[in-house]
């Protein structure tokens, strides 16, 4: 007979399961306990529940066998949620150590009859998911029907009210307590024997079959026999169930443990200072100290990377190398600064510097030994406070949750050790069993000179056995909390001597001082003002009955969250959960020791219980000050909206936080500030993400969009996972980038001295669309993705290895090439020398920051200079606008435009506009800038030391007249897709290329099936249907689909508009959207499209329609400060859908397209679910056409179709009416007017 586990499975219930739950409620052959509602159950998912579980039949998925609800409070309306613990202790004869964190209430169950094992299966599922829960409590109401709770009572013990008689108990409430140890399967552990070899090898083969091939069929037995009588301290432990989990299978897993830990070896290769270097140090006894020469890392503060103050500090430290007194010419001093200051920003040692350090390890000495003994190093190994986990494996039929119990058994086997150490090879991808194990471990950072290739992870005993408790703040706890704030921030990401986000010592000291002042203000207000909405809780760990006697491990400050509706316009957050309006809280500050951070769910669930919050949010600002939250990444990141909407004059709110008087943070607003939003909806945590391991080369716009697409692959428009789980992204991606590129992309401390806040400064814009821009301004991918700053040297396709220029090796399973650039020359133009110091290409934000500093230094010299800008396109004019508004004299600028063939306008390139080009050229000429047209670059004339450009030679077309121009700064916008160094690497690796482009097939695969490529560096030779100028977002989605990392319906054609945004001379802003077209169609003459233009009050707009009346291009040039990203919604739409765009323009009713696209009707098209309405209409029309009788009148059919479509639109407006800023009238509204 099959077991219950083989026929059914338990899942978390979501809103999509509601119809099947209603069928279960209406079924007759069911039994239940708890309060049963009457269908329909629209309000079922509006209530606060910790877990909702469904039991399905594996063979018939549509059949629901049971549904149940668990919460951290009983379903007693008259009882305040936080008081139930007092109610239990005061009312019932309980002799159990029940706390808020170690218990959960089983409030409701409905189950089909004839399923006796389902109840036990549900109870086991809860215990599996909630490791901290030891008690499941069922509240049995008085006078309940006989037998209703009999099934539950069979698993637990019933407790009755105090001082009650047996005759009265029937009419009194009671509680049924189910203890974990009474229902969980019994698991025993023993040492492995040689005869266990076959079972052990079979378990290992499920995830690592290479060991059998390498060592033979009996390698475990041989190892066990070799250990007999030897001095080895290895132990192989077997875990077994008392009952068989399958035919002749009782084994649960194995653990290969050892006490042989070389502390000296680990401490000199890893940063173990915060873990006591794994040495035992007991106060009150003799200690010894040993010293080792090691290398440590000095991380430059993110706050001081690119500021002018930092540049001046570097100049002061390097003044001897620059030595302006020896150099008579101002240009020599200037170029010395370029070399020793600004070009250093491209080197790794500017961001992270390794230095020699002295490591001191203190440890206990054996009795009778002296601290100055010459043999004290030998006693270091005896003072080891940890053991080594060499191998861990669960049986394939055993749930991964048994990792927790196995790890607990490991510490029980070594009661005198506090740490468990495991080493994970960096070349192997982690298995599901290993990922579950590492949840309980802390990763430890390598030292710069580490000779160990494996990654080190450490677990502490307190993580498993610590008894946590949460209570409201008391005044005597303030000093302890201030001490915790003053200690360095510690996160589970990595254990290192310096936290990467903390920066240097001076900034840390100022930051901590400011946080302490803010904390004191908040706490004083909480304790003195009883009406204060803020609340503070302390988290302690220990067995003492008195809360204050236990060590403090964390604290949490909460406040009501009142900005939800405002953030909904910027982030993807559900707008239909009105029942939570007054039940949302905000985490103001959260500090927790890293040993306990994995217990985020029960802690947050408990503090939310006190304040009756059902969702908790945390806002982290990139700039200014953000109060610390150690569990920020244990909360669900909220994705920014994928398309920017028009906010219709909405005034961005400012977040007024409690700040000290000396705070350097102003009130940031929701629209322009760079911030991240995190949410914890008190639902079960689910790690979301692809299992594929990727290595990416490059940091292009497609790469940025790809990372965002993969990280938020679990998110959807209906936000179903957002409401169902606390979703935590989990990806295995490594990105190889040049030094400083990622740091500059996320830097927010750089301030332009000319642009004020810098929102529209050239340094910060970057011509990116909103999807790519928000990846660096509304989220931070650095937590989920490993960025390796280095340069690629060689690709070994046979061994799947990448060799880096610094000698490091990266292993890959799938390699993705996304290293496309935009501008530059091939390296051959520099005659084999390094890039000249006064040569500029603006491909990344780092290039623009260096460009800004070089320009500032040049302008401040007061000498005459000549800046040459070479290239063609709208980006050139943006650079000219940057120069003339940042201190550069117009007569010192020379614009050289290469020869542009007089051909039909290219409709597929948003960065070029031949119709606007003559107008903009006139504007540039009016500024007094020297212009050379149809003049092509010839060569550079370098200085004697080949470090900078002295002259640039050009050839005019068609006369080929030589033009020689002196050059102090050369800004190059010549189109270039692939760097010469990467081209050489690919050629040496045998990657097929044509005309410096990588050849891929329709699935982005190169001639190596494990190497993919996308962007402007690729070409598809046959068939010739490739699209040009495609959206980075759409390219990223298609690439992620081919890599099986997203589950969406994907078409082969491109349909998402591609945008260019930038600035033009005289303060104009331009945004241009084009609809992607296949290469051949994009070469059609301009006659195959219709152009409509408007100009009013300085606003120029141009709309192009193709022969099918589809909008294929939108161009807006305006001085309005409002960003026009919302125009993306209208590109690619039919003119009739856009309120009869073409007909209204022909009738003269549209004088300004920019105003036309900001009318109230556009809000319908910009709604998140408008595509669903279109799909519904399409299906309706198709069904009507299929059922149409050919004899019917055509006019009658069209009238019927129009009526149906109007009905759908009215239903759409009625359903989402509260989402709109404007009030749209509905038929039922006419009754309220007196006409």
DSSP string, 544-613: -SSGGGSPEEEEEEEEE---HHHHHTTB---S--GGGTTSEEEEEEEEE-GGGGGGHHHHHHHHHHHHT-
Q: What is the pLDDT of residue 643?
A: 92
Would the CATH topology of 187-260+384-463 be identical to that of 466-680?
yes
Burial of residue 831 (CB within 10 Å: 0-12, 13-18, 19+) is: exposed
H/E stretch holding 965 reads: strand 962-966
pLDDT score for 685: 93
- Tens digit of pLDDT for each residue in 120-147? 999 999 999 999 999 999 999 888 888 8
For position 659, what pLDDT does the model report? 43
**DSSP-derived 3-state class of residue 924:** helix
pLDDT digits (tens, 9 = 90+) for 295-313: 988 888 777 788 888 888 8
Q: How confident is the model at residue 53 (pLDDT cuts 50, 70, 90)?
A: very high
Confidence category of residue 652, pLDDT binned at 50, 70, 90? low
Which residue, among 109, 178, 124, 154, has the nearest Cα to 4 in the 3D structure? 124
Q: Which residues are CB-contacts of 901 (< 8 A; sequence separation ≥ 6)?
A: none
Find the Cα–Cα–Cα–Cα dihedral 893, 898, 900, 905, rounded to 10°: -50
Residue for token digits 């310096």? 498
Instruction: Give the residue, 173 or 989, on which the prediction is more confident.
Output: 989
Task: Identify the pLDDT of residue 81.
Answer: 77
What's the CA gap between 439 and 442, in Å, rounded?
A: 8
In this prediction, residue 83 has a pLDDT band, given cuts at 50, 70 and 90, of confident
Burial label for 1132, CB within 10 Å (0-12, 13-18, 19+), is middle
Q: In Å, how far are 627, 868, 869, 871, 962 from 937, measured between CA atoms?
A: 53, 11, 11, 9, 10
8 Å CB contact between 1132 and 1103: no
Give me the pLDDT at residue 1020, please: 64
Whether residue 606 has a cis bond before it, omega within 30° of 0: no
If you average pLDDT over residues 1093-1112, what whole number do you get? 93
Report pLDDT digits (tens) over 1173-1187: 999 999 988 888 787
Residue 649 has pLDDT above 80, yes or no: no
Cα-flanking dihedrals φ and ψ of residue 110, to 5°?
Answer: -130, 130
Lowest mean pLDDT among 26-40, 377-391, 655-669, 983-997: 655-669
Identify the burial level of 209 via C-beta atoms within 10 angstroms of its C-beta, where 0-12 means exposed, 13-18 middle and 19 or more buried. Answer: exposed
pLDDT for position 545? 80
Sorting pLDDT into bands at 50, 70 and 90, what band is 1083? low
Tell me which CATH homologous superfamily contains domain 187-260+384-463: Gcn5-related N-acetyltransferase (GNAT) (3.40.630.30)
* 3-state SS assignment for residue 1214: helix
Residues 6+ apart with CB under 8 A from 780: 622, 676, 746
Instruction: Tell me the average pLDDT of the chain.
Output: 86
pLDDT at 631: 92
Is 966 exposed, middle or buried (CB count within 10 Å of its CB: 0-12, 13-18, 19+)?
middle
Say if residue 71's pLDDT is above 80: yes
3-state secondary structure of 967: coil
The mean per-residue pLDDT over the stretch 780-790 comes to: 93
Helix (H) or strand (E) holding 103: strand 103-112
Predicted local confidence at residue 1087, as pLDDT: 63
The pLDDT value recorded for residue 133 is 94
A 10 A CB-CB count for 106 gives 27
- Dist CA 574 CA 723 (whole Å): 8
The residue among 507, 618, 745, 423 whose CA lies nearest residue 499 is: 507
- Cα–Cα distances (Å) from 1138 to 823, 1134, 1205, 1224, in that order, read 37, 7, 16, 17
Does the pLDDT value for residue 654 go beyond 60?
Answer: no
- pLDDT tens digits for range 708-759: 999 999 999 889 999 999 999 999 999 999 999 999 999 888 888 888 767 7
Average pLDDT over residues 246-275: 87
CB-based contacts of 1079, cutoff 8 Å, min separation 6: 1024, 1025, 1026, 1027, 1028
Beta strands in 400-465 (DSSP E): 419-424, 442-444, 455-460
CB 294 within 8 A of CB 447: yes
Average pLDDT, integer, range 613-621: 93
3-state secondary structure of 496: coil
For 560-592, b where at least 16 C-beta lie within 10 A, e where not — what string?
A: ebebbebbebbbbbeeebeebeebbbbbbbbbb
Number of H helices, E strands in the chain: 36, 52
Q: Is the pLDDT of residue 1233 over 70?
A: no
Percent of the chain with pLDDT over 70: 90
Whether domain 4-183 has CATH 3.20.20.100: no
Q: List helix spans (H) across 365-431.
A: 402-413
- Average pLDDT in the 186-211 region? 83
Residue with tokens 């020791």: 593
Which helix (H) or strand (E) segment is 520 a member of?
Answer: helix 505-528
Question: Could you tell me how many residues make up the chain?
Answer: 1235
Percentage of the chain lying above the pLDDT 90 cut? 52
Confidence tier at 90 by pLDDT (50, 70, 90): confident
Tokens (6 digits) for 775: 């990846």
- Domain covering 683-821+982-1044, topology: FAD/NAD(P)-binding domain (3.50.50)
The pLDDT score that the predictor gives to residue 494 is: 52
- What does the pLDDT look like over 411-450, one tens digit per residue? 998 999 999 999 998 876 777 888 889 999 999 999 988 8
Highest-confidence range of 249-258, 572-581, 1004-1013, by mean pLDDT? 1004-1013
pLDDT in the model for residue 102: 92
pLDDT band at 787 (very low <50, low <70, confident <90, very high): very high
What does the pLDDT average to over 143-167? Answer: 86
497: pLDDT strictly greater than 70: no
The residue extents of the domains of the chain are 4-183, 187-260+384-463, 280-364, 466-680, 683-821+982-1044, 827-973, 1058-1158, 1173-1232
Contact 849, 753 (CB under 8 A): no
Mean pLDDT of 798-803: 93
pTM check: above 0.75? yes
CATH number of 466-680: 3.40.630.30
Return d(Cα 559, Cα 611) in angstroms, integer.
9
Question: Hey, what are 142's tokens?
Answer: 């008085």
Element containing residue 971 per DSSP (H, E): strand 969-973
Whether 664 has a pLDDT exceeding 60, the answer reads no
pLDDT of 197 above 50: yes
pLDDT for the residue numbered 662: 35
- Spatial distance between the Cα atoms of 749 and 622, rounded to a whole number of angstroms: 9
In the numeric block, which tokens belong to residue 846? 């780092």
Q: What CATH architecture applies to the domain 827-973?
A: 3-Layer(bba) Sandwich (3.50)
Q: What's 1058-1158's CATH class? A: alpha beta
């Amino acid at each position: 007979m099959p077991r219950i586990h083989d026929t059914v499975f338990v899942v978390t219930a979501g809103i999509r399961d509601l119809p099947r739950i209603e069928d279960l409620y209406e079924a007759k052959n069911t039994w239940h306990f708890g309060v049963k509602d009457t269908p329909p159950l629209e309000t079922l998912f509006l209530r606060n529940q910790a877990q909702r579980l469904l039991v399905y039949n594996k063979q018939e998925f549509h059949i629901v066998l049971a549904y149940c609800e668990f919460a951290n409070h009983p379903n007693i309306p008259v009882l305040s949620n936080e008081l139930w613990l007092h109610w239990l202790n005061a009312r019932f004869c309980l002799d159990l150590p029940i706390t808020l964190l170690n218990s959960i209430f089983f409030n409701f169950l409905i189950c089909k009859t004839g399923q006796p094992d389902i109840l036990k299966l549900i109870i086991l599922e809860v215990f599996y998911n909630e490791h901290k829960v030891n008690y499941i409590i069922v509240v049995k109401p008085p006078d309940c029907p006989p037998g209703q709770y009999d099934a539950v009572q069979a698993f637990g013990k019933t407790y009755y009210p105090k001082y009650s008689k047996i005759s009265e108990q029937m009419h009194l409430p009671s509680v049924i307590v189910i203890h974990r140890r009474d229902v969980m399967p019994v698991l025993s552990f023993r040492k492995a024997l040689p005869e266990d070899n076959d079972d052990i090898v079979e378990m290992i083969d499920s995830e690592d079959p290479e060991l059998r091939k390498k060592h033979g069929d009996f390698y475990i037995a041989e190892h066990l026999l070799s250990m007999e009588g030897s001095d080895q301290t290895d132990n192989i432990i077997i875990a077994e169930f008392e009952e068989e989990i399958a035919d002749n299978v009782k084994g649960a897993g194995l653990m290969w443990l050892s006490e042989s830990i070389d502390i000296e070896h680990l401490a000199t290769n890893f940063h173990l200072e915060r873990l006591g270097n794994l040495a035992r140090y007991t106060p009150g006894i003799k200690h010894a100290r040993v010293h080792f020469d090691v290398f440590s890392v000095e991380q430059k503060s993110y706050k001081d990377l690119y500021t002018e103050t930092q540049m001046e500090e570097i100049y002061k430290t390097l003044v001897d190398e620059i030595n302006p007194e020896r150099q008579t010419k101002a240009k020599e001093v200037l170029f010395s600064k370029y070399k020793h200051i600004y070009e250093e920003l491209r080197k790794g040692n500017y961001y992270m510097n390794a230095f020699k350090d002295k490591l001191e390890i203190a440890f206990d000495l054996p009795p009778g030994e002296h601290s100055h003994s010459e043999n004290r190093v030998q006693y270091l190994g005896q003072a080891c406070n940890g053991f080594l986990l060499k191998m861990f494996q669960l049986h394939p039929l055993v749930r991964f949750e048994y990792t927790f119990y196995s790890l607990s058994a490991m510490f029980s086997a070594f009661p005198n050790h506090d740490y468990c150490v495991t080493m994970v090879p960096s070349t192997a991808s982690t298995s599901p069993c290993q990922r579950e194990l590492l949840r309980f471990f802390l990763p430890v950072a390598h030292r710069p000179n580490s000779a160990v290739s494996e990654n080190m992870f450490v677990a502490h005993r307190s993580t498993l056995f610590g008894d946590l408790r949460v209570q409201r703040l008391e005044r005597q706890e303030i000093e302890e909390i201030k001490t915790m704030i003053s200690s360095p921030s510690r996160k589970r990401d990595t254990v290192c001597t310096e936290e990467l986000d903390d920066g240097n010592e001076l900034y840390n000291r100022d930051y901590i001082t400011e946080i302490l002042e803010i904390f004191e203000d908040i706490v004083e207000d909480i304790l003195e003002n009883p009406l204060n909405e803020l609340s503070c809780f302390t988290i302690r760990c220990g067995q003492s009955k008195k809360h204050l006697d236990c060590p403090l491990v964390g604290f949490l400050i909460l406040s009501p969250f009142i900005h939800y509706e405002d953030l909904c316009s910027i982030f993807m957050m559900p707008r239909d959960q009105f029942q939570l309006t007054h039940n949302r809280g905000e985490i103001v500050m959260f500090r927790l020791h890293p040993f306990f951070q994995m217990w985020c769910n029960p802690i947050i669930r408990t503090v939310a219980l006190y304040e009756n919050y059902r969702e908790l949010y945390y806002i982290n600002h990139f700039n200014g000050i953000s109060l610390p939250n150690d569990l920020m990444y244990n909360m669900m990141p909220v994705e920014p909206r994928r398309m920017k909407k028009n906010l219709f004059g909405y005034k961005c709110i400012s977040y007024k936080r409690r700040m000290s008087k000396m705070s350097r943070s102003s009130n940031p607003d929701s629209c322009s500030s760079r911030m991240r939003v995190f949410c914890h909806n008190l639902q079960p945590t689910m790690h979301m993400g692809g299992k594929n391991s990727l290595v990416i080369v490059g940091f292009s716009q497609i790469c940025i969009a790809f990372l965002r697409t993969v990280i938020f692959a679990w998110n959807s428009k209906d936000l179903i996972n957002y409401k169902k789980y606390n979703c935590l992204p989990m990806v295995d991606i490594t990105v190889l980038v040049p030094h400083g590129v990622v740091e500059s992309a996320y830097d927010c401390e750089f301030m332009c001295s000319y642009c004020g806040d810098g929102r529209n400064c050239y340094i910060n814009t970057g011509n990116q669309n909103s999807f790519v821009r928000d990846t660096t301004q509304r989220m931070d991918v650095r937590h989920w993705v490993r960025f390796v700053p280095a340069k690629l040297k060689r690709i070994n396709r046979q061994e799947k290895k990448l060799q880096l220029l610094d000698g490091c090796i990266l292993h890959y399973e799938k390699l993705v090439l996304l290293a496309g650039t935009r501008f530059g020359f091939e390296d051959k133009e520099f005659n084999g020398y390094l890039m000249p110091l006064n040569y500029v290409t603006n491909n990344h934000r780092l290039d623009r920051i260096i460009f800004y500093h070089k320009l500032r230094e040049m302008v401040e010299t007061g000498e005459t200079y000549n800046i040459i800008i070479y290239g063609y396109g709208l980006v050139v004019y943006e650079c000219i606008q940057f120069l003339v508004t940042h201190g550069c004299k117009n007569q010192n600028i020379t614009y050289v435009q290469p020869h542009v063939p007089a051909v039909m306008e290219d409709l597929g390139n948003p960065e070029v506009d031949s119709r606007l080009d003559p107008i903009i050229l006139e504007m540039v000429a009016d500024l007094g800038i020297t212009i050379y047209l149809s003049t092509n670059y010839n060569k550079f004339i370098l200085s004697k030391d080949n470090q900078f450009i002295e002259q640039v030679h050009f050839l005019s077309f068609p006369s080929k007249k030589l033009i020689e121009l002196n050059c102090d700064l050369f800004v190059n916008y010549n189109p270039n897709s692939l760097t010469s160094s990467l081209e050489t690497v690919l050629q040496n690796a045998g990657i097929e290329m044509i005309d410096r482009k990588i050849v891929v097939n329709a699935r982005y695969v190169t001639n190596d099936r494990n190497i993919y490529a996308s962007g402007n560096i690729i070409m598809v030779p046959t068939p010739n249907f490739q699209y040009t100028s495609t959206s980075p977002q759409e390219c990223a989605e298609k690439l992620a689909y081919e890599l099986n990392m997203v589950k969406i319906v994907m078409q082969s054609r491109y349909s998402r508009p591609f945008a260019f945004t930038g600035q033009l001379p005289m303060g104009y802003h331009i945004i241009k959207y084009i609809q992607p077209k296949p290469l051949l169609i994009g070469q059609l003459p301009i006659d195959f499209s219709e152009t409509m233009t408007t100009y009013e009050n300085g606003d120029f707009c141009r709309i192009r329609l193709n022969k099918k009346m589809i909008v294929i291009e939108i161009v807006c040039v305006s001085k309005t400060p409002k960003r026009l990203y919302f125009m993306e919604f209208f590109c690619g739409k039919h003119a009739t859908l856009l309120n009869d765009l073409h007909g209204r323009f022909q009738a003269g009713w549209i004088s300004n397209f920019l105003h036309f696209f900001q009318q109230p009707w556009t809000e319908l098209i910009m709604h998140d679910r408008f595509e669903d309405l279109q799909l519904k209409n399409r299906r309706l029309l198709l069904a009507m056409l299929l059922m149409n009788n050919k004899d019917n009148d055509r006019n009658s059919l069209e009238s019927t179709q129009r009526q149906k479509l109007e009905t759908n639109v009215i239903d759409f407006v009625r359903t989402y009416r509260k989402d709109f800023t404007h009030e749209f009238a509905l038929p039922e509204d006419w009754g309220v007017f007196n006409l």
